[in-house]
């Protein structure tokens, strides 16, 4: 494993855990920690952006350009993650196992389709 990949792995994991914990803190009323959750989530997002910058610098690569195509890909990825999450909520929160599984599978297919959108088919 290259040093840059290892650093990105560690930093990405820490940022993901901070973001996830922050969202749980903010969105679960039982925890009564909305403000702290927003802070943790914000720190996780900032650390995720720093991870991207550090990894690109260590690899000697430039950051992706802001083009219309990349913005649409990002929006599609956001919708795909929300569909996947909605399927999980249907299963775990509302007990709709069949519908939740179908919506979750749709979300998975949408997420998998991101690979050819970014890499292309050769």
pLDDT in tens, 62-85: 877 888 888 999 899 999 999 998
Alpha helices by DSSP H, the chain: 3-27, 34-59, 68-92, 97-112, 114-119
Rounded (10°) CA dihedral 82, 84, 85, 87: 120
* pLDDT value at residue 39: 96
Q: Angle, nearest 10°, between helix axes 97-112 and 68-92?
A: 160
Hey, where are the domains in the chain? 1-63, 65-122
Percent of the chain surpassing pLDDT 90: 54
Burial environment of residue 81 by CB neighbours within 10 A (0 to 12, 13 to 18, 19 or more): middle
């Amino acid at each position: 494993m290259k040093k840059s990949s290892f650093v990105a792995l560690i930093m990405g994991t820490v940022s993901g855990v901070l973001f996830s914990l922050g969202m749980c803190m903010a969105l679960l009323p039982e925890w009564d920690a909305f403000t702290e959750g927003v802070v943790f989530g914000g720190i996780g997002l900032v650390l995720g952006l720093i991870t991207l910058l550090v990894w690109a610098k260590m690899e000697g690569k430039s950051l992706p350009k802001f083009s219309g195509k990349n913005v649409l890909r990002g929006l599609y990825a956001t919708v795909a993650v929300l569909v996947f999450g909605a399927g999980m909520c249907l299963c775990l929160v509302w007990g709709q196992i069949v519908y939740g599984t179908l919506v979750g599978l749709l979300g998975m297919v949408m997420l998998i389709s991101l690979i050819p959108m970014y890499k292309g088919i050769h």
